[in-house]
């Protein structure tokens, strides 16, 4: 039993990483209209060139650039107006020397043209005569066949979370369905007699369920699906029943509260009450978040997160998020920036310490201002740009020292 055998952060991360292979997400094929937020399970390649023809980026006249070379307001080039390019129709004309053809934005260019003059720099003198008052460069105002996407070019890389722009690109390539991982299903349980849901009135001594909703948002950002959410009173049997229900519905269980050493904290007892239940971690040498529990039952991980909102969110960032990304094969990277710390900070001896900061430019230097406060204050998270990590062998930071700030916003690889 690993009850309160304190683990280092690196040990905890290694233990959790070893659990990733136990969970295999199923694959499903869905239409691109419904794929937003899902994670691609394979590379997707274009089957066509985009665009499939040379097209104009402006309303104007397709010309041969030699015909308008040297054109000015006072000495315009005079060209024969040959006709119009009609949207959605094939332009079969071939442009000859001394000719121009009107092309709307997105319209197909005639063969033989090598530039498009914007309509603002032209004047139509008659039904078949146009004046051009400005020269253009070769290829100006043209998107060429295949400029946007080439046939067999990679559109979506395996592990990418699909977004709205990906959907548009897939549609442009004529792909109407792709294979994705089914969303990782997550159950979120908030524990404590004092916790009530946000829609209910509260009495003195009670608090609303901050953690449950914050965790829902974090899970959603990672492409997960919350399939069960509940508030459980401090009762061993009630908690075990809810965890058992969660294990039936979900791939991952997140509990907030009930992870410290106390007479009313049942998380570790509940995990070990299952026939295959096992405590993997009970206590990590981090601040905040020392009493974090990680256990396993029914081959699924159960995270017992701290009850304090800030500690709960930070532990999610440093432990749960990497686990979910690995299970989902989601290719993400931490975004970190270098900044100067605005004040000296002492760290907890022998612990990895995490401090939230707010970033702002002062005198053209990016500065990180620590947001200091108790870990029970959720407002700290809403003010923070990210966090700094003071490793266990560091004594602290001094004012003006360069630090890495890990942003709460993540980037795709």
For the chain, domains (ranges, CATH) are 9-26+182-332 (3.40.980.10), 29-48+151-181 (3.90.105.10), 55-143 (2.170.190.11), 335-407 (2.40.340.10)
Find out whether 300 and 250 touch, Cβ atoms under 8 Å: yes
| The pLDDT of residue 83 | 92
Contacts of 23 (CB under 8 A, 6+ apart): 184, 251, 252, 299, 300, 301, 327
| The pLDDT of residue 373 | 65
Condensed to tens digits (0 to 9), the pLDDT of residues 191-215 reads 988 888 888 888 888 788 889 999 9
In what side-by-side order are the strands of the sheet with 225-232? 225-232, 185-191, 252-256, 300-305, 293-297, 278-282
DSSP string, 213-263: HHHHHHHHHTT-EEEEEEEE-S-HHHHHHHHHHHHHH-SEEEEES--SSST
pLDDT means over runs of 10, the chain (413 residues): 75 97 95 95 94 96 96 95 93 95 96 96 94 96 94 94 94 94 96 85 84 93 93 91 97 82 70 95 92 95 92 93 92 86 88 92 94 64 86 91 87 47
Find tokens 């039993």 and name the residue: 1
| The pLDDT of residue 266 | 82
Three-state SS for 88? coil
| The pLDDT of residue 263 | 40
| The pLDDT of residue 371 | 85
pTM over cut 0.85: no
| The pLDDT of residue 280 | 96
| The pLDDT of residue 124 | 93
| The pLDDT of residue 309 | 86
């Amino acid at each position: 039993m690993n009850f309160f055998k304190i683990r280092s952060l690196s040990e905890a991360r290694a233990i959790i990483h070893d659990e990733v292979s136990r969970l295999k997400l199923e694959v499903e094929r869905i239409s691109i209209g419904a794929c937003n937020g899902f994670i691609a399970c394979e590379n997707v390649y274009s089957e066509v060139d985009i665009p499939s023809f040379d097209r104009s980026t402006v309303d104007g006249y397709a010309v041969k650039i030699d015909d308008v070379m040297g054109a000015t307001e006072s000495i315009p080039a005079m060209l024969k107006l040959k006709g119009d390019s009609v949207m959605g129709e094939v332009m079969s004309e071939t442009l000859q020397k001394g000719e121009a053809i009107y092309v709307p934005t997105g319209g197909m260019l005639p063969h033989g043209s090598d530039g498009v003059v914007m309509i603002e720099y032209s004047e139509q003198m008659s039904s078949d005569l146009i004046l051009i008052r400005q020269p253009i460069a070769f290829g100006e105002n043209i998107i060429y066949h295949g400029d946007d996407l080439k046939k067999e070019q990679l559109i979506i890389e395996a592990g990418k979370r699909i977004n709205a722009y990906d959907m548009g690109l897939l549609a442009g390539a004529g792909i109407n369905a792709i294979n994705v991982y089914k969303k990782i299903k997550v159950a979120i349980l908030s524990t404590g007699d004092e916790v009530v849901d946000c829609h209910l009135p509260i009495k003195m001594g009670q608090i609303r369920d901050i953690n449950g909703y914050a965790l829902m948002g974090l899970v959603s950002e990672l492409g997960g699906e919350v399939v069960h959410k509940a508030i459980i009173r401090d009762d061993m049997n009630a908690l075990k029943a809810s965890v058992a229900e969660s294990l039936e519905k979900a791939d991952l269980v997140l509990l907030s509260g009930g992870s410290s050493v106390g007479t009313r904290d049942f998380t570790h007892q509940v995990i070990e009450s299952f026939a295959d239940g096992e405590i993997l971690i009970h206590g990590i040498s981090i601040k905040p978040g020392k009493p974090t529990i990680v256990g396993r039952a029914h081959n699924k991980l159960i995270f017992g997160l701290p009850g304090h909102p800030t500690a709960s969110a930070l532990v999610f960032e440093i432990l749960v998020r990497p686990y979910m990304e690995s299970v989902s094969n989601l290719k993400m990277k931490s975004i970190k920036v270098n900044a100067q710390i605005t004040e000296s900070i002492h760290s907890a001896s022998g612990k990895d310490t995490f401090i939230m900061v707010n970033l702002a430019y002062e005198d053209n230097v990016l500065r990180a201002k620590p947001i200091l406060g108790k870990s029970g204050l959720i407002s700290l998270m809403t003010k923070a740009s990210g966090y700094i990590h003071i490793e266990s062998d560091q004594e602290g930071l001094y004012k003006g020292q360069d630090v890495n700030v890990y942003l709460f916003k993540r980037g795709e690889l």
